[in-house]
């Protein structure tokens, strides 16, 4: 089944002269890494084809891996559209993907919706960038992987695996990462660009450590309003990235950060150890991985409801898993 799907995708890539790659809203490293990485592989492999990755380049800290394209609507006519790293169609950035003639979904999230003509989902990989690398390896006799693809693909794997420390990192994943490192990538430079923080972010992180709350059964959380973000001079993207400041609290198996957005909605990042929380995210306009998901709520009441659901789930989990720390 997997090999058949990969073959179908490769045949469609051969068939179309114009290929447009889309991704999800609010992109992270794996999202942009897989988008730009796939684009660069296809451009190097098929120089006579028109290959684009669509986006608005609003994630500045990832500009070093490559920039996205702005294209005209007319290019979608008779185009193949590939959507990467996106579980559901309501999270696809730029609805012009619907203008394409044929669509392919390439993803690694828990499958919720088959919205494309071909849906290729590999939950056995911890990042969509790893799925792209595996696809390349399958057809490497026909494809070219340039350094301009190796860099974004490696960055995507690094960020979505927490620097290769999360579950799902296998020997195969590390071999794929090693293949990318053979392109003489500067790891020190990459990690500096990804993980160096401003003084303002460190001050906000100190606030998180001092002000986070924990429910009776061990859900740790914090809410960061727009006023608080302005006070510490950080934007909502930088604030949300602080979710893992709460990742090592003993007896706290679920942690989350609530960040008020410019449109007054509240973006939620949920994380956990040992226990799945994607079902909670699905209830609140979100989704993702079993232990790393995102959601959106629109009021403090909804925020409290989400926390209460997580607390009850953790209560039940602890009753039957007393040896888990």
- CATH number for the domain spanning 213: value is 3.10.310.30
Q: How confident is the model at residue 325 (pLDDT cuts 50, 70, 90)?
A: low
The total number of structural domains that make up the chain: 2
**Tokens (6 digits) for 68:** 């996205």
Same domain, 239 and 182: no
> How far out from the chain centre does Cα 130 lie?
12
pLDDT tens profile 142-188: 999 999 999 999 999 999 998 898 878 999 999 999 999 999 999 99
Q: Rounded to whole angstroms, how far apart are CA atoms 75 and 67?
A: 19
Q: How confident is the model at residue 116 (pLDDT cuts 50, 70, 90)?
A: very high
Residue 324 has pLDDT above 80, yes or no: no
Average pLDDT over residues 215-236: 96
- Kindly report the CATH number assigned to the domain that includes residue 177: 3.90.1640.10
Would residue 50 count as lying in a domain? yes
Q: How confident is the model at residue 321 (pLDDT cuts 50, 70, 90)?
A: confident
Would residue 325 count as lying in a domain? no
pLDDT tens profile 38-91: 999 999 999 999 999 999 998 888 999 999 999 999 999 999 999 999 999 989
Q: How confident is the model at residue 197 (pLDDT cuts 50, 70, 90)?
A: confident
Q: Are 281 and 270 in contact (CB under 8 A)?
A: yes
Q: How confident is the model at residue 37 (pLDDT cuts 50, 70, 90)?
A: very high
Average pLDDT over residues 106-134: 95
What residues make up the domain containing 11?
A: 2-194
Q: Rounded to whole angstroms, how far apart are CA atoms 293 and 320?
A: 24
pLDDT tens profile 253-288: 999 999 999 999 999 999 999 999 999 999 998 888
Of 161, 194, 227, the last residue of a domain is 194
Angle at the Cα of 307 from the Cα atoms of 159 and 232, rounded to 5 degrees? 55
Same domain, 55 and 116: yes
Residue 134: burial class (beta carbons within 10 Å; 0-12, 13-18, 19+) = middle
Of 167, 194, 221, the last residue of a domain is 194
Q: How confident is the model at residue 195 (pLDDT cuts 50, 70, 90)?
A: confident
Same domain, 24 and 101: yes
Would residue 246 count as lying in a domain? yes
Same domain, 47 and 170: yes
Same domain, 286 and 179: no
Long-range contacts of 243-252 (CB under 8 A, 24+ apart): 243/269, 243/271, 244/162, 244/271, 245/205, 245/208, 245/209, 246/208, 246/212, 246/220, 246/221, 246/222, 246/271, 247/271, 249/214, 249/220, 250/325, 251/218, 251/325, 252/214, 252/218, 252/219, 252/220
């Amino acid at each position: 089944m997997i090999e058949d799907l990969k073959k179908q995708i490769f045949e469609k890539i051969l068939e179309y002269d114009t290929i447009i790659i889309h991704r999800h809203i609010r992109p992270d490293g794996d999202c942009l890494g897989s988008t730009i990485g796939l684009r660069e592989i296809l451009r190097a492999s098929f120089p006579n084809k028109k290959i684009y990755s669509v986006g608005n380049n609003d994630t500045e800290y990832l500009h070093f891996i490559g920039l996205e394209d702005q294209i005209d609507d007319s290019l979608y006519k008779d185009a193949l559209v590939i959507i990467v790293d996106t579980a559901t169609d309501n999270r696809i950035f730029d609805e012009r993907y619907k203008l394409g003639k044929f669509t392919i979904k390439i993803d690694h999230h828990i499958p919720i919706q088959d919205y494309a003509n071909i849906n290729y989902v590999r939950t056995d990989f911890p990042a969509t960038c790893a799925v792209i690398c595996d696809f390349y390896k399958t057809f490497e006799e026909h494809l070219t992987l340039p350094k301009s693809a190796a860099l974004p693909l490696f960055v995507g794997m690094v960020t979505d695996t927490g620097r290769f420390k999360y579950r799902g990192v296998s020997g195969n994943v590390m071999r794929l990462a090693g293949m990318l490192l053979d392109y003489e990538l500067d790891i020190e430079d990459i990690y500096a660009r990804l993980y160096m923080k401003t003084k303002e972010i460190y001050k906000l992180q100190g606030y998180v450590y001092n002000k986070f709350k924990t429910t009776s059964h061990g859900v740790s959380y914090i809410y960061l309003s727009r006023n608080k973000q302005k006070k510490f001079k950080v934007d909502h993207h930088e604030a949300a990235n602080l979710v893992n400041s709460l990742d090592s609290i003993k007896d706290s198996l679920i942690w989350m950060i609530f960040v008020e957005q410019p449109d007054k909605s509240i973006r939620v990042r949920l994380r956990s150890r040992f226990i799945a929380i994607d079902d909670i995210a699905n209830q609140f306009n979100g989704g993702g991985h079993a232990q790393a998901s995102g959601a959106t709520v629109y009021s403090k009441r909804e925020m409290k409801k989400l926390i209460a659901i997580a607390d009850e789930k953790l209560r039940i989990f602890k009753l039957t898993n007393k040896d888990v720390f």
